[in-house]
């Protein structure tokens, strides 16, 4: 998300504003998207700076101070089932939760766009074959596919990232293929072809600039799903292993505390929810900022 | 529109003319293109659209050949076939006497010499590129340095009437339709072509803008020594632009000849009907009856015999069975109508022969 | 129409085969031999080889696949390593419970999703639209496993109105439509319905707004058709898409129920999958996923055919 704000500034201001600059200026006027972006940036910043801002050690607990309520002196957001400071663990938890939510989408964006643009630009039977293979992956609901893959691969951070990447590649590839197929038949691509440009040059100059935007927006919409799924895998015990702080895993280990400290037990989920809804709202804002007719 | 003709930019050199003045710049022979699904696994062969069904014509050096016809007659497909955007099912293209795709004339050097201006000025410009980048793209592909190609782009923009200082850095959505079409023309000229195909290039423009762009095209033709294929459904515009005119109907040539002859003395009933359907400026000369009715028949199943017989008021038995060939009616004027051929057996043909 | 159905079946067959390939390969994705987890640690190399041969794991992968597929086509999904019972028996029992839960959740989701979607689409940019849109964003953004926990905290722990886990009194694993069992399904079904509510509301909002802005509706209004008449036109035009989305959501819920079933200890396929994963019961894992995916493929086919039958604009050729 930081990349977009940057792109808006980096585009050289020639005689007129470039496409991304105008998207950026529309986006800045979208209050909901800006609030969402601020929340995302705050959570990300807190996670990055965790060692400097967190009040305690995320791993050190105290057996006599287990499950303290919110507002306990020294424990502003309470203590977890092993007497560790909740605020500290929530700040640290953002590191793995966001990492495991964003990385699969990024990886799938690279691979999926590659497959989709290739299939869309080449067309013909190559396209048909690739899209049929992708149809097979669409026969699995994404939650089922993610759980099946990480269930088979076994628990672990890398395995969950791999599973989620595999889940998102077909979805992004399908969008990339359909956008590219539309662009491929535009007159300006044909004009480039009749000027004697090779396929690689045409894709670089005329196709990428016009397809990456829509694919990117679609992908930002997936980050929310990816966050929920990644934390869900940890919640099931298929992702991060204890004692690492991660929101999904924290939610799982605090499940037994719903009778004694329900508010504390619900906190990690609230973090997942806030991050996920912020990504969703920002993605919606980005989409409508890009959809405006020129 | 007066333009100062400065000879700084690309100008065709005499050495380009390989075949000599007598050789047509472009010779099209028996071009055929059918669209449709071929039979595949578990699918029946779909309906075949005979978009271009055996078309032959020449374009002389320095002339403007107009192609007219209703929508769906195959004129745009002919343009795309010449541009090699789509591959023909069969037929030959000779450019200045050399076969396109042969050893003497490979596709890359052919494409440098033939360029096309599309109808939709917006769809034919990449929305993410500035005007100068769009014009500079072709020269860049063919090896010019970034600086050279931008300089050339600015020069061409100036020549098509867009001041580089104002327009070079703009994006397509920031300029008007007429200005966009000027950019398209500049791009078409950037590779210093000899033949320019204008596919409904002014059809989408307002009438006043259209006139300006047409004058610009005439100026550029003289300045750069160009040859034009001018495709349009607008007969007035074609008459204004063309030296010769070719009338197409359902994928075939109906009539071809010098513009004056075709417009003042049409020899194919379809051409007459098209001309009669033009709105007249003279209120006393108002068209009283519809000269041509209905839509053209479906090109998926063109009628047998003469393709126009279903709408022709001179239809005879022979028209329903035998397809007419192009017949010389004198003065490089050809028509594909049985009435022009005394031996065809059409009742009107003998009258025509007697009258001649 | 019959021809169209046949065509769709022909089209679905390679997809179904692909699904079976993925399910088959799942077992081989697992680190080490599929048998590692069941073999005694002190088994000799000879015993290991014997075991492998018995299960056919010494054959080439492609041969193994076709042997496996042959069995699957004869309704033999192998035996569960943990319980020794046939996988098919285990899955069919669980799938009924999951189906009941998913169906109830879809019905709730459809009811509220249509309501919110219609209101939002009809009164675009009004406060009602804002509220309905907020609800649908909530629906697609909330981690449903957390929502389940929150509902349990509120309605079971704090208010003590509803049971928090299980499908019925006394750990009943067969859900029946009686008052006792009904109390158990309320919380998981509401939790699960949040996603389809959001998605159906979003889809319908866009659809209704689109239909209302179309020229034929303006023409109907211009002809003097009342609001009720316009409403009927909108419903007729929106129904095929709404039903299609609902059908697909049922499939998604059935396949995606594992997290919610874990939270509520609902004895369905999700619960079964969870057990299979942690006991490394690979035949059970494979069989459950195959059944769920095939169910989804079949549902897609039915939705597709129904939508075509309902919507005259889709060509059946």
**What are the sequence ranges of the domains in chain C?**
2-73, 89-316
Interface of C with A in 3-42 (CB under 8 A): 14-16, 18-19, 21-23, 26-27, 29-31
Do the chains contact at C26 and A149, CB–CB below 8 Å?
Answer: yes
Total structural domains within chain A: 1
Q: Nearest CA to CA, how far is A14 from chain C (Å)? A: 37
Q: Nearest CA to CA, how far is A240 from chain C (Å)? A: 15
Residue spans of beta strands (DSSP E) within chain B: 26-36, 48-59, 64-68, 90-95, 98-99, 114-117, 195-199, 227-231, 244-249, 252-258, 327-328, 334-335
Please count the residues of chain C.
317
Please check whether residue B193 is in contact with residue B226, taking contact to mean a CB–CB distance below 8 angstroms: yes
pLDDT at position B41 is 46
- Domain of residue A170: give its range: 35-289
Please check whether residue A215 is in contact with residue A225, taking contact to mean a CB–CB distance below 8 angstroms: no
pLDDT at position B235 is 87
pLDDT at position A197 is 85
Looking at every residue in chain C, the average pLDDT score rounds to 82
Q: Reduced to 3 states, what is the DSSP secondary structure of residue C65?
A: helix
Please check whether residue B288 is in contact with residue B302, taking contact to mean a CB–CB distance below 8 angstroms: no
Q: Which CATH class is domain C89-316?
A: mainly alpha
Q: What is the CATH number of the domain that holds A243?
A: 1.10.3720.10
* CB atoms closer than 10 angstroms to residue B286: 8
Please count the residues of chain A.
294
| Phi, psi dihedral angles at B125 (to 5 degrees) | -115, 135
pLDDT at position C300 is 86
Residues in chain A whose beta carbon is closer than 8 A to a beta carbon of chain B? 14-16, 18-19, 186-188, 190-198, 201, 205-206, 209-210, 294
Do the chains contact at A195 and B123, CB–CB below 8 Å?
Answer: no
By the CB < 8 Å criterion, does A148 face chain C?
yes
Residue A17 lies in a domain: no
Query: Looking at beta carbons, which residues of chain B come within 8 Å of A197?
Result: 137-138, 141
Better-predicted residue by pLDDT, B24 or A116: A116
pLDDT at position A10 is 33
Please check whether residue A179 is in contact with residue A169, taking contact to mean a CB–CB distance below 8 angstroms: no
By the CB < 8 Å criterion, does A53 face chain C?
no
Residue A2 lies in a domain: no
- CA atoms of B252 and B257, how far apart (whole Å): 15
Which residues have CB under 8 Å from B21's CB, separation 6+? Answer: B61
By the CB < 8 Å criterion, does C265 face chain A?
no
Query: Please, which pLDDT band fits residue A3 given cuts at 50, 70 and 90?
Result: very low
- CA atoms of A176 and A120, how far apart (whole Å): 8
Do the chains contact at A191 and B118, CB–CB below 8 Å?
Answer: yes
| Phi, psi dihedral angles at A77 (to 5 degrees) | -115, 25
pLDDT at position A123 is 87
Query: Please, which pLDDT band fits residue C170 given cuts at 50, 70 and 90?
Result: low
Q: Which chains touch C (3 or more CB pairs under 8 A)?
A: A
Query: Please, which pLDDT band fits residue C181 given cuts at 50, 70 and 90?
Result: confident
What does the block give as tokens for A241? 């292993």
pLDDT of C295 > 50? The answer is yes
Q: Nearest CA to CA, how far is A276 from chain C (Å)? A: 6
- CA atoms of C143 and A226, how far apart (whole Å): 11
Q: Which CATH class is domain B2-9+25-34+49-246?
A: alpha beta
Mean pLDDT of the region A28-52 = 91
Do the chains contact at A188 and B112, CB–CB below 8 Å?
Answer: no
pLDDT of A282 > 90? The answer is yes
> Which residue from C100, C133, C109 is spatially nearest to C249, judged by alpha carbons?
C109
Do the chains contact at C157 and A259, CB–CB below 8 Å?
Answer: yes
Do the chains contact at A16 and B174, CB–CB below 8 Å?
Answer: yes
Residue A48 lies in a domain: yes
Q: Scanning every residue of chain B, which has its alpha carbon at the shortest distance from the alpha carbon of A213?
A: B128
Do the chains contact at B115 and A194, CB–CB below 8 Å?
Answer: yes
> DSSP secondary-structure letter at B38?
P
Q: Reduced to 3 states, what is the DSSP secondary structure of residue B56?
A: strand
- CA atoms of C164 and C94, how far apart (whole Å): 19
Q: Nearest CA to CA, how far is A294 from chain B (Å)? A: 6
Mutation target for C interface from A151, A156, A221: give the one with most C CBs within 10 A. A151
Mean pLDDT of the region C250-255 = 84
Query: Please, which pLDDT band fits residue C34 given cuts at 50, 70 and 90?
Result: low
pLDDT in tens, chain B (356 residues): 333 333 334 444 444 666 677 788 999 888 888 887 555 444 455 677 888 888 899 898 889 999 998 877 888 889 889 988 888 888 888 888 888 878 888 888 888 899 999 888 888 899 888 999 999 998 888 888 888 899 999 999 998 988 888 888 888 888 888 899 999 999 999 988 999 999 988 888 888 888 888 999 999 998 898 999 999 988 888 988 999 999 998 888 999 999 888 888 888 888 888 888 776 666 666 555 556 666 667 777 777 888 888 888 888 888 888 888 888 888 888 888 888 887 777 777 766 555 54
Which residues have CB under 8 Å from B93's CB, separation 6+? Answer: B26, B27, B28, B29, B31, B81, B82, B99, B100
DSSP H/E element including A270: helix A262-291
Q: How far is CA C180 from CA B26, C108, C148, C158, C172, in A?
A: 87, 20, 20, 20, 10
Q: Scanning every residue of chain A, which has its alpha carbon at the shortest distance from the alpha carbon of C150?
A: A266
pLDDT of A9 > 50? The answer is no
Q: Nearest CA to CA, how far is B123 from chain A (Å)? A: 6
B192 Rama class: left (phi>0) / alpha (psi -120 to 50) / beta:
left
Residue A30 lies in a domain: no
pLDDT at position B3 is 39
Q: Nearest CA to CA, how far is A69 from chain C (Å)? A: 15
| Phi, psi dihedral angles at B33 (to 5 degrees) | -145, 115
| Residue A220: Cβ-neighbour burial (10 angstroms; 0-12, 13-18, 19+) | buried
pLDDT of C311 > 80? The answer is no
Q: What residue spans in chain B does CATH classification 3.40.50.300 cover?
A: 2-9+25-34+49-246
Place of tokens 């292993």: A241
pLDDT at position C75 is 82
Strands B334-335 and B252-258: antiparallel
Do the chains contact at C140 and A235, CB–CB below 8 Å?
Answer: no
pLDDT of C317 > 60? The answer is no
Please check whether residue C259 is in contact with residue A236, taking contact to mean a CB–CB distance below 8 angstroms: yes
């Amino acid at each position: 998300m930081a990349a977009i704000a940057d792109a808006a500034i980096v585009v050289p201001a020639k005689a007129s504003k470039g496409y991304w600059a105008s998207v950026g200026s529309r986006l800045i006027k979208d209050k909901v998207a800006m609030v969402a972006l601020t929340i995302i940036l705050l959570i990300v910043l807190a996670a990055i700076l965790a060692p400097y801002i967190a009040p305690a050690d995320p791993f050190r607990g105290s057996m006599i101070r287990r499950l303290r309520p919110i507002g306990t002196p020294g424990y502003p957001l309470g203590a977890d089932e092993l007497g560790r400071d909740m605020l500290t663990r929530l700040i640290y938890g953002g590191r793995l939760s966001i990492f495991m939510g964003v990385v699969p989408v990024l990886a799938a964006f690279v691979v999926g766009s590659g497959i989709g643009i290739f299939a869309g630009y080449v067309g013909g039977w190559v396209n048909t074959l690739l899209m049929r293979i992708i149809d097979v992956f669409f026969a699995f609901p994404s939650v089922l596919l993610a759980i099946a893959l990480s269930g088979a691969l076994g628990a672990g951070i890398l395995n969950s990232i791999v599973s989620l990447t595999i889940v998102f590649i077909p979805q992004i590839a399908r969008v990339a293929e359909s956008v590219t197929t539309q662009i491929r038949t535009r007159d300006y691509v044909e004009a480039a072809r009749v000027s004697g440009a090779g396929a690689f040059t045409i894709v670089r100059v005329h196709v990428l600039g016009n397809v990456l935007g829509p694919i990117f927006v679609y992908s930002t919409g997936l980050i929310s799903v990816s966050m929920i799924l990644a934390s869900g895998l940890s919640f099931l015990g298929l992702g991060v292993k204890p004692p690492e702080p991660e929101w999904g895993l924290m939610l799982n280990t605090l499940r037994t505390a719903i009778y004694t400290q329900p508010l504390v037990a619900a906190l990690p989920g609230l973090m997942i929810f806030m991050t996920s809804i912020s990504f969703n709202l920002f993605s919606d804002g980005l989409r409508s900022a890009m959809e405006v007719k020129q | 529109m007066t333009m100062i003709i400065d000879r700084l930019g690309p100008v065709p050199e005499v050495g380009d003319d390989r075949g000599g003045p007598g050789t047509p710049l472009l010779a099209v022979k028996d071009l055929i293109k059918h669209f449709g699904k071929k039979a595949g696994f578990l699918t029946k062969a779909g309906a075949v659209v005979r978009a271009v069904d055996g078309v032959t014509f020449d374009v002389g050096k320095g002339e403007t050949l107009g192609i007219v016809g209703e929508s769906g007659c195959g004129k745009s497909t002919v343009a795309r076939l010449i541009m090699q955007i789509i591959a023909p099912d069969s037929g030959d293209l000779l450019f200045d006497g050399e076969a396109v795709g042969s050893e003497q004339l490979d596709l890359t050097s052919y494409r440098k010499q033939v360029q096309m201006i599309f109808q939709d000025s917006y769809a034919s410009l990449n929305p993410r590129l500035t005007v100068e980048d769009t014009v500079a793209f072709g020269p860049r592909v063919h090896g010019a340095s970034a600086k050279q190609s931008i300089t050339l782009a600015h020069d061409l923009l100036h020549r098509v009437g867009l001041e580089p200082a104002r327009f070079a850095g703009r994006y397509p959505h920031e300029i008007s339709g007429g200005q966009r079409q000027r950019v398209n023309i500049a791009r078409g000229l950037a590779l210093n072509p000899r033949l320019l195909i204008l596919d409904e290039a002014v059809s989408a423009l307002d009438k006043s803008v259209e006139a300006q762009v047409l004058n610009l095209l005439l100026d550029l033709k003289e300045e750069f020594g160009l040859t034009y294929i001018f495709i349009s459904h607008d007969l007035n515009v074609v008459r204004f632009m063309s030296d010769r005119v070719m009338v197409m109907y359902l994928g075939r040539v109906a009539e071809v000849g010098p513009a004056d002859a075709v417009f003042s003395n049409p020899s194919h009933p379809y051409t007459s009907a098209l001309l009669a359907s033009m709105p007249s400026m003279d209120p006393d000369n108002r068209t009283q009856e519809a000269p041509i009715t209905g839509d053209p028949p479906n090109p998926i199943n063109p009628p047998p015999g003469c393709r126009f017989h279903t709408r022709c008021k001179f239809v005879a038995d022979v028209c329903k069975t035998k397809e007419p060939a192009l017949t010389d009616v004198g003065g490089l004027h050809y028509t594909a109508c049985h009435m022009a051929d005394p031996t065809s057996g059409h009742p009107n043909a003998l009258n025509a022969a007697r009258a001649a | 129409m019959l021809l169209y159905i046949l065509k769709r079946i022909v089209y679905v067959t390679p997809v179904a085969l692909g699904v079976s390939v993925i399910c088959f390969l799942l077992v081989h994705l697992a680190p080490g031999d599929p048998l590692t987890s069941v073999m005694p640690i002190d088994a000799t190399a000879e015993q290991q080889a014997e075991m492998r041969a018995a299960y056919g794991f010494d054959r080439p992968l492609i041969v193994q696949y076709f042997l496996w597929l042959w069995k699957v086509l004869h309704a033999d999904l192998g035996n569960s390593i943990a319980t020794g019972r046939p996988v098919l028996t285990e899955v069919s029992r669980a799938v009924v419970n999951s189906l009941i839960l998913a169906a109830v959740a879809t019905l709730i989701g459809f009811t509220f999703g249509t309501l919110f979607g219609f209101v939002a689409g009809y009164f675009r940019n009004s406060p009602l639209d804002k509220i309905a849109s907020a609800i649908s964003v909530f629906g697609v953004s909330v981690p449903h496993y957390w929502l389940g926990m929150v509902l349990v905290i509120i309605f079971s722990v704090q208010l003590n109105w509803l049971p928090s886990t299980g499908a019925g009194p006394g750990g009943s694993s067969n859900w029946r439509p009686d008052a006792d069992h009904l109390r158990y399904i309320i919380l998981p079904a509401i939790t699960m319905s949040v996603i389809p509510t959001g998605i159906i509301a979003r889809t319908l909002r866009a659809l209704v707004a689109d239909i209302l802005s179309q020229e034929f509706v303006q023409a109907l209004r211009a002809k003097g058709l009342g609001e009720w008449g316009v409403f009927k036109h909108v419903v007729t035009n929106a129904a095929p898409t709404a039903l299609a989305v609902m059908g697909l959501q049922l499939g998604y819920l059935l396949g995606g129920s594992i997290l919610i079933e874990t939270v509520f200890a609902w004895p369905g396929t999700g619960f079964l999958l969870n057990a299979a994963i942690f006991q490394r019961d690979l035949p059970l894992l494979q069989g459950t996923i195959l059944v769920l995916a095939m169910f989804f493929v079949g549902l897609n086919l039915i939705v597709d055919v129904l939508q075509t039958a309902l919507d005259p604009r889709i060509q059946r050729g």
